Structures are given as C-alpha cells and as structure tokens.
Structure 1
Amino acid sequence: MEIINDSTQKLELEYPCNWTYKIIGRERQVLEQAVHDVICERAHTLEHSNQSCSGTYLSMNLDLLVHNEDDRNFIYEALKAHQNIKMVL
C-alpha cells in the first residue's frame, strides 16, 4: 500500500491558539523537569498519555497557548533539543 500526500496546502491556524505537543521520554519526573526547563513559568498542562508495553518509554501531552507560528516552532525545537526528551510529535 502506498500513501501519497499530494496536498500543497499549508496548515492555516489562527493565533493565538492552544497547541498540544506529545513528548516521549523514559521517566515522568525527568520529562516534567525538561518541560519546565523549556517553557519556565508559562501556563500549561502536562498529562500522562501512554506507556510502552515494556515500560521503557512513556508519553505525555503538553498543552499550552502559542502566540504565533514562530512561537510554536521555537517550543517544538527547544523540546526536541532537550537531552531528556527522546521525541516530540
């Protein structure tokens, strides 16, 4: 099966808007600290999402208000660059 995305449309968002990042790591407390390191005192919610079958990895949903596309992308890149976050979706 082949999936082809031939859409040339850009995602249109109205800012400010709420945005959810899914972050994946190994320990809940370490992920909570990593989020704090990146967004400091900015209002947000962080909730457990899922855990791998073996318990090695867990995912959390980070919800917060983003003010514009640059803000959204900056937070994504900062989360992705943090040494204790394995993946950001």
Structure 2
Amino acid sequence: MSPKEIFSSACSRKPEIHYPCVWQYKVIGKELHLVKNAIKEICAPVPVTITYSHSSASGKYHSFNAEIEVQDEEARLSIFRALHDHAAVKFVL
C-alpha cells in the first residue's frame, strides 16, 4: 500500500472514541460574556471548564476552550450542534 493510500484510508475512517470521555470544544465568537454564557447554558447541568484561549489580531473575535465529560457520541454531537446553532457563537471546532 502506498503512503497516499494509507493516508487516504486513515482519513476516511471514523476515529475510535471510548466513552465516557473528556471532550474539548473550541468556541469562537465576538462578545466574550455572551460566548461564555452560551457554553454554560448549553452544557448545563454538566460541569464544564471554560478557559479563555485567544483573540484575533483585530480583537474582533475571541475563542474559548470548553472541556466537558460526555457520556456518548449522541451527547458529544448534541453539544456541538447546540453551540454551532447559538446566535453568540460564530465557529465551533
């Protein structure tokens, strides 16, 4: 198998995640307090650790790391979708 085929095969496979596990989301938005409140609201009642990460060069965007224990894939994806759909959030990674 060529290196290109190995890379292609590895990229097309779904990662193996063992639940429950601690998962980290990178959440980006414009208003610091609105983004932080959105993370808390969406993750409640499960405790979430929120740490400030970075500001864009212009100071227009701010990012946070949100670390939370997820019980299964459904919970992990549900939080991702809720963050993605929140008005205060511009991007989720």
**Normalising to structure 1: TM-score of the pair?**
0.89
Match of 2:23 among 6, 12, 19: 19
Deviates more, 1:5-14 or 1:46-55: 5-14
One-letter amino acid matched to 1:47: T
Give me the whole-angstrom Cα distance separating, in 1, the residues matched to 2:79 and 2:64.
15
Residue aligned with 1:77, SS: helix
Give me the whole-angstrom Cα distance separating, in 1, the residues matched to 2:72 and 2:40.
20
- How far the C-alpha of 1:44 sits from its partner, in A, is 1.0
Percentage of pairs with the same residue: 36
**Normalising to structure 2: TM-score of the pair?**
0.86
Give the 4+ runs in structure 1 shifted more than 2 A.
none
CA RMSD of aligned residues (A): 1.4
Query: Per-residue displacement from partner, 1:20-44 (whole Å, max 9, x unpaired)?
Result: 0000001211111111221223111
Give the total of aligned pairs: 86
Deviates more, 1:74-83 or 1:7-16: 7-16
Unaligned runs of 5+ in 1: none
Match of 2:59 among 55, 58, 64: 55
Map 1:22-37; keep pairs closer than 5 Å: 22-37=26-41
Give me the whole-angstrom Cα distance separating, in 1, the residues matched to 2:47 and 2:29.
21
Give me the whole-angstrom Cα distance separating, in 2, the residues matched to 1:56 and 1:34.
18
Give me the whole-angstrom Cα distance separating, in 1, the residues matched to 2:69 and 2:52.
19
Structure (1 or 2) with the larger CA radius of gyration: 2
Instruction: Tell me the residue number matched to 1:6.
Output: 8
Mapped pair 1:68 → 2:72: yes
Unaligned runs of 5+ in 2: none
Give me the whole-angstrom Cα distance separating, in 1, the residues matched to 2:42 and 2:24.
15
